[in-house]
Amino acid sequence: MTIEEKRSLEIMLRRIGGQVNGISKMINDDKGCEAVMIQVMAAVSSLKSVGRTVLADATCNASKEESTKLLKRFL
């Protein structure tokens, strides 16, 4: 993974951390289920994006056998 890709993932993970903190605050402030769930789904989507990026990098740098194993396990 390049330095630029790592920086991009770091930014995404910081944003996800902010989303999670926001969700916690929403729950503590008794916000409605729909509003909280919209934010939860956004955070989940962002985490999936990070996971896909990490998996794509791992499969590019692995043997065909190892790539297949990773893809079967995580997709």
DSSP 45-62: HHHHHHHHHHHHHHHHTS
Residue 34 confidence (pLDDT):
97
Identify the CATH number of the domain in which residue 50 sits: 1.20.58.1000
Whether 40 is covered by a domain: the verdict is: yes
Answer yes or no: is 51 within a domain.
Answer: yes
71: its two tokens? 């893809």
pLDDT of 1: 86
Give the tens place of pLDDT for each residue, 19-72: 999 999 999 999 999 999 999 999 999 999 999 999 999 998 889 999 999 999
Residue 42: give the domain boundaries.
15-74
From first CA to last CA, the distance across the chain in angstroms is: 20
Q: What is the pLDDT of residue 75?
A: 82
What pLDDT is recorded for position 55?
A: 94
Q: Number of folded domains in the chain?
A: 1
Does residue 9 lie within any of the structural domains?
A: no
Residue 69 resides in a domain: yes
Tell whether 1 is covered by a domain: no
Sign of the alpha-carbon torsion through 74, 2, 41, 23:
positive
